[in-house]
Chains A and B, each alone.
Chain A
């Protein structure tokens, strides 16, 4: 059985505190993603799409059999990221990252990114410095 490399425990904590709300006002998180299905993906960036309404990061993830799985993960709105100093160049293609997020409801290899972490622990596309998680307002 092919399964991606999953780390559930930490992601469950994230899920409980974030209550599945996306910072994006563009659409309802609940329309597309499942807040009961957190996921952690570690792999190699193959593409970054920097456009509205959301940025997309494409990731090749090795499963337990060593096969590559192709994932796509939705991020924040590019205008807000740009105002916070990020750009399309903030993530190198072929760089290794770890994404914590939530799975799409449709069962595809699609996630909504909550944190994007480099191997040295720094967070990319973070809403607040050093924190990693988007600044959700209650």
Chain B
């Protein structure tokens, strides 16, 4: 069987390949050490550009992530999970908002900007953001949203972000574990040292799960990274060419 290439052309191309082999800078990175920094008012300061472990499946562990292997589904939740087929509709593939848990799960970095009154989560994934008041105020009422309504409060040096009022159109992770509009998400942020955030996430959703369950992960400070723009929409060939479909949501 003939090969598609002429041998001499092959070797010339190999020499002219001009491949810039990237420096191994990413593997050499070490986060800074020392105690967690504090704001002028004495609070732990979570500001920075943070690397997150990629968590496509909340039931599968990795070096930096610990999940729950067997999710305590209600019958409704189990049925939702069983019938999920991304080929029938993939909301993130269609560039719809990721929602809170999936934004935390992506491999793209997030920047946290903190003041006394607010914590802003700037997700590089799709350039989404969510701003959380952290002065201890109660939840606001309003229409349900993709990222939910978040408020924060301090418990010592731990910042607790409490989120409710999700629109139910998102999924917990890439593989599609479901949740309902009754999801009550609690995230606990602490900073054991300068280079790391210890993140705990508690998922409580009585329609989908029989009891709350918890995941933990470590975030790493990247002093060598800056946030980059990420336009999901700019070249979404998969959507334009019909390989990804927009999900059909029931009216709420």
Query: Could you tell me which A residues sit within 8 Å of B by CB distance?
Result: 5, 21, 23, 25-28, 30-32, 42-43, 49, 51-54, 56, 61-62, 64, 66, 72, 74, 77, 79-80, 82-87, 89-90, 92, 95-96, 104-106, 108, 110, 118-120, 122, 124, 129, 137-138
A137 and B54 contacting across the interface, CB-CB below 8 Å: yes
* Residues of the A chain whose Cβ atoms lie less than 8 Å from the Cβ of B61: 138
Asked if A27 meets B108 with Cβ closer than 8 Å, knowing A42-B4, A52-B232, the reply is no
* Residues of the B chain whose Cβ atoms lie less than 8 Å from the Cβ of A84: 22, 26
Could you tell me which residues of chain B, from 55 to 78, have a CB within 8 Å of some CB in chain A? Answer: 55-56, 60-63, 65
Partner of B22, one of A51, A66, A86: A86
In the complex, residue of chain B having the shortest beta-carbon distance to the beta carbon of A60: B4
Per-residue A-contact encoding for B78-111, CB less than 8 Å = 1, 0 else = 0000000111001011010000001001111000
B236 within 8 A of A: yes
* Residues of the A chain whose Cβ atoms lie less than 8 Å from the Cβ of B27: 129
A25 and B4 contacting across the interface, CB-CB below 8 Å: no
Asked if A28 meets B235 with Cβ closer than 8 Å, knowing A43-B4, A85-B25, the reply is no
A96 and B26 contacting across the interface, CB-CB below 8 Å: no
A52 and B231 contacting across the interface, CB-CB below 8 Å: yes
Per-residue A-contact encoding for B1-39, CB less than 8 Å = 1, 0 else = 110110001110110111111111111000000000000
Bound form: Cα–Cα A43–B13 in Å: 13
A selection of 22 A-B contacts at a CB cut-off of 8 Å is A21-B56, A25-B56, A26-B93, A28-B175, A30-B86, A32-B87, A49-B235, A52-B230, A53-B232, A61-B4, A80-B107, A84-B26, A85-B26, A86-B22, A95-B17, A96-B10, A106-B243, A110-B241, A118-B14, A119-B5, A124-B19, A129-B24
A79 and B124 contacting across the interface, CB-CB below 8 Å: yes
* Residues of the B chain whose Cβ atoms lie less than 8 Å from the Cβ of A138: 60-62
B14 and A25 contacting across the interface, CB-CB below 8 Å: no
How many A-B Cβ pairs are below 8 Å? 148
* Residues of the B chain whose Cβ atoms lie less than 8 Å from the Cβ of A5: 4
* Residues of the A chain whose Cβ atoms lie less than 8 Å from the Cβ of B19: 90, 118, 122, 124
Partner of A25, one of B1, B85, B125, B234: B125
B118 within 8 A of A: no
* Residues of the A chain whose Cβ atoms lie less than 8 Å from the Cβ of B85: 30
In the complex, residue of chain B having the shortest beta-carbon distance to the beta carbon of A135: B54
A85 and B56 contacting across the interface, CB-CB below 8 Å: no
Bound form: Cα–Cα A128–B228 in Å: 21
B235 and A56 contacting across the interface, CB-CB below 8 Å: yes
